[in-house]
Amino acid sequence: MRWNTWIRQIHRWLAIIFTVTVVVTFVALAQEEPVVWVSYAPLPPLVLLMFTGLYLFVLPYAARWRGGRAVARGR
C-alpha cells in the first residue's frame, strides 16, 4: 500500500475516534458531577486529524508542483 493510502486510512480512523471521544465527553459532562478533565479527551485525535488533513489538502498541489503527475489532473 502506498504512503498516501496509509495517511487516508489513518485520517478516517482518527475521524471515527474523534467522534467517539466527543460523544463520550458529552455524556460525561452531562452527569450530576461532571469530570472536567474528560473534556480534553478529543484534543489528541483532533490534533492528529489536523496534521493528516493538512497533508491530504496539500497533496494535489504538491503533485502539481513536482511535475503534474496524473493524480493532480483528476486521475
Q: What is the pLDDT of residues 10-47, one digit of tens each?
A: 999 999 999 999 999 999 999 999 998 999 999 999 99
Burial (CB count <10 Å: 0-12, 13-18, 19+), residue 39:
middle
**Is 24 within a domain?**
yes
74 has a pLDDT exceeding 60: no
63: pLDDT strictly greater than 90: no
Looking at the structure of the chain, the number of domains it has is 1
Assigned domain for 71 exists:
no
Global pTM value? 0.79
Q: Does residue 52 fall inside a structural domain?
A: yes
- Dist CA 27 CA 54 (whole Å): 30
Burial class (CB in 10 A: 0-12, 13-18, 19+), 67: exposed
Residue 32 domain-assigned?
yes
Q: Alpha helices, DSSP H only, in 1-75? A: 3-29, 43-65
Q: Which of 38-42, 45-49, 50-54, 61-65 has the lowest mean pLDDT?
A: 61-65
Amino acid 70: pLDDT: 54
**Residue 73: inside a domain:** no
Which domain range does residue 57 map to? 3-65
Contact predicate 7/55, CB 8 Å: yes
